Structure 1
Amino acid sequence: MNNEEPNNKINPLGLDSKREKSGSETFRKYNYQYHWAFCRMLDEHSEGNEYAIFVEEHEDVTLANSLDGKSALFEFNQIKEIANKSTITTLSKDKKDSASPLKKLAESVCNKAFSDKISSVNFVSTGGFSFDLHKKGLSFEVIKVGLLTEEEQAKIIGCISDIDKDNILESKLAFIIPELPEKGFDLAIEGKISQLINKINPGCTYNSSSIYNCIIRDLQRKGENSFDYIDWNSSLKRKAVTSRQLDEIINLHVKIKPDENLTTELLDILKNEYGLSSLKRRKIANAFNRYYAAQLSSRDTELHKVSTELKEIIDSNIENFDTAIDLEEHIFNHRSERLINYFTNREDFSGAFLYELIS
């Protein structure tokens, strides 16, 4: 028996070393930034927080804690996918052709129109850090400047003093070791998506890969957009991925069905009071299910306002009508600007109306 490997199993391109490997390494480092941003999103989403996350907007990853531009505070994160531990010296020392990492960080956030809206500034490094506290056997995931020795703090402040005139970083700078692994980070993100969905919608059917693909593509597309936007809403649309957007994508890819009693009552109303054909009943039933799923998982403040308004209108008018279809027609014809803007078609409005009526 011939034990030699057949020639067709040998890769001709693998017999000689590559001339250039830096392209793959550079892509992996940038790719890591996008996945760290995704990871940061999922952490905020799991806590039920409203947010908008930007990649390559003043810093590698910038997070706003609100969708309201007037009240939003900003977290800036510089991401370093490196193997070596960073020390106070490597962080504060200028190179021949570039400023030190701390100076670059300070230049991104200091003396800006948004500087008074900064909540924190983070230096995130996969290689970790080597500070005096580590020599004492301490290990922290987040290291704020106040945990460092007076000598280390003095070096940091001295490094950025010419830039940070208002001493922003003295109180808001932190050094972070990321939980996201350097390799297999895409699988780690899919795992976090599963954890999130099982937390907010236990027992449902979902496809974490589809959710992952939608979000990571949008993060990359928006991160490549180098334009500036003065208008906040345009910035959210063109540059950010928001908590509202992730809610919508989860709702599209997660199958949640109302309990049997709700479904039975819905179909009974659609058949007996609306007199719709089977296809039209299905459209409204699907809209009902989408609204139901959004109510369970969404942190969209506008949705909660719409829900409250619909309930109040139904309660104040229900005694004046004999059938659900007549009550809906009245509310639809007298709906507010908020309801007009929120529901893009009649089926979505009908589904929401019927949910609020019978739930």
Structure 2
Amino acid sequence: MTENILAEPQRESAGASTFGKYNFQYHWALCRVIEKHKSNEEYALLIEYHEDVIIANSLNGQEALFEFYQVKNQSASFTENSLTKREKGKKDTFKSSVLGKLLSSCIGTQYEKRITQIGLVSSSGFSLKTEKNLQLDIIKVGDLSEDCLKNLTDQINNELGISLLPSHLQFIVPEIQLANQEDYVLAQFAKLVNTIFSGAQCNAVDIYRAIIDEMGRKGRIQLDYKEWDRLISKKSLTSDEVNDVLALNTTRPTITQLENDFNDLVSNFGWRPLSTRNLRSKLKTLALKRSGFPTSFDINIIRTVKSLIQKVDYNSFSSDLDYVSALFHQAKVDNLDSIIADSDDLKVEIFYALLVDDL
């Protein structure tokens, strides 16, 4: 069991208990993972865990690298002073500054070296001096003017004892706006489906609702998890889960053809209609998922089953039913059922290899 490298005490967990599923920061997070999904990147999105948003680039806990984001929705632009201002707390102590909170979630932790990006996202933008006075939507540390960088560094050094700001720190002005955040995300989902399922039709509203509701459910969880796999299962939204939702709410002409081909093949098998319908439904879902976002596991399964099919000579059988039955038998001989335990899922994998060329 892989240990969860993020299993350190969280700075605070109030965000999880006050989660509002229509909040700006979660719509921004959705836009971020949609960008990754378009590029066929694997990811796990963590909501209200150490930071507002954490994105892991792998489901493998030993390999995953992380992006940490704090997402702010306020009326005024952030300045050098407001980023590092510390309000007075109880007993004459000072609270953390906005930038200090973000950096304290990342610096000096056991996972610090696996963080590739630290981002502060502000709906109202930033009033920070940059070299050549450029108006940037992503301001990197190297883009800041010398005076601005020195001022921020001095203040953070006083607060946290950090003498250099991390080179992967960024100040991000988002494209999504408060006034149109829901419509914006719906449009992004529609564009995503069109990108990964060419020629497909989708119900963007159902996709959005299913995913935002799942984010809401997992965002409210305040527990810690020592094991990585449990963290991913209980607390994160993964690329696999998003792809399943996309597949269930998308139709493609080629998928209709696949269903017709399946019906033609099994029409004379004498199978019970309910059993056939279940296999057809699973085959459709599998084909949609793989046409959009095949995982490394998917690719290995496809190769294994195609190799299995090559062992069985179609011309040696007098009927398609006998041939398909021989493939089912060969799958068990090859111990494929140790990887795919459900017998219907195993059958679907064989039908997929037989009927799908390039969806």
TM above 0.5: yes
Percent of residue pairs bearing the same amino acid type: 29
- Select which of 230, 238, 242 maps to 1:242: 238
Q: Structure 1 residues 163-172 or 303-312, which shifts more?
A: 163-172
- 1:171-250 → structure 2 map (5 Å cutoff): 171-250=167-246
Describe the SS at the equivalent of 1:307. helix
**How far off its partner does 1:308 sit?**
1.3
Q: Does 1:110 align with 2:107?
A: yes
Q: Structure 1 residues 167-176 or 34-43, which shifts more?
A: 167-176
Query: Are the equivalent residues in 2 in contact too, given 1:65–1:73 (CA < 8 A)?
Result: yes
Describe the SS at the equivalent of 2:311. helix
CA distance in 1, matches of 2:270, 2:165: 65
Paired position in structure 1 for 2:13: none
User: How has the CA–CA distance of structure 1 residues 321 and 213 changed in structure 2, closer, same or farther, with 3 Å as cutoff?
Assistant: farther
Larger RCO (CA under 8 A, 6+ residues apart): 2
User: How has the CA–CA distance of structure 1 residues 251 and 89 changed in structure 2, closer, same or farther, with 3 Å as cutoff?
Assistant: same
**How far off its partner does 1:127 sit?**
1.1
Q: Which runs of 5+ in 2 are unaligned?
A: 1-17, 90-94
**How far off its partner does 1:256 sit?**
2.9
Larger Rg: 1
**How far off its partner does 1:257 sit?**
4.7
**How far off its partner does 1:28 sit?**
7.1
Q: Give RMSD over aligned pairs.
A: 2.5
Query: Are the equivalent residues in 1 in contact too, given 2:154–2:163 (CA < 8 A)?
Result: no
Describe the SS at the equivalent of 2:195. helix
Aligned-partner residue type, residue 250 of structure 1:
L
Paired position in structure 1 for 2:267: 271
Paired position in structure 2 for 1:299: 294
Describe the SS at the equivalent of 2:171. strand
Paired position in structure 2 for 1:69: 61
What TM-score do the two structures reach when normalised by structure 1? 0.84
- 1:93-104 → structure 2 map (5 Å cutoff): 93-97=85-89, 98-104=95-101
Q: Which runs of 5+ in 1 are unaligned?
A: 1-25
- Select which of 30, 39, 45 maps to 1:53: 45
Query: Are the equivalent residues in 1 in contact too, given 2:68–2:118 (CA < 8 A)?
Result: yes
CA distance in 2, matches of 1:168, 1:61: 24
User: How has the CA–CA distance of structure 1 residues 289 and 321 changed in structure 2, closer, same or farther, with 3 Å as cutoff?
Assistant: farther
Query: Are the equivalent residues in 2 in contact too, given 1:258–1:292 (CA < 8 A)?
Result: no
Query: Are the equivalent residues in 2 in contact too, given 1:92–1:155 (CA < 8 A)?
Result: no
Aligned length: 330
CA distance in 1, matches of 2:212, 2:255: 33
Aligned-partner residue type, residue 53 of structure 2:
V
**How far off its partner does 1:280 sit?**
3.0
User: How has the CA–CA distance of structure 1 residues 172 and 138 changed in structure 2, closer, same or farther, with 3 Å as cutoff?
Assistant: same
Q: Does 1:132 align with 2:129?
A: yes
Q: Does 1:281 align with 2:276?
A: yes
Q: Structure 1 residues 280-289 or 75-84, which shifts more?
A: 280-289
Paired position in structure 2 for 1:346: 343
What TM-score do the two structures reach when normalised by structure 2? 0.84
CA offset digits 1:288-316 (Å, max 9, x no partner): 22222122112322111111111111113
Aligned-partner residue type, residue 316 of structure 1:
K
**How far off its partner does 1:318 sit?**
3.5
Aligned-partner residue type, residue 310 of structure 1:
V
Query: Are the equivalent residues in 2 in contact too, given 1:194–1:208 (CA < 8 A)?
Result: yes
Describe the SS at the equivalent of 1:111. coil
Query: Are the equivalent residues in 2 in contact too, given 1:121–1:174 (CA < 8 A)?
Result: yes
**How far off its partner does 1:160 sit?**
2.4
CA distance in 1, matches of 2:348, 2:303: 15
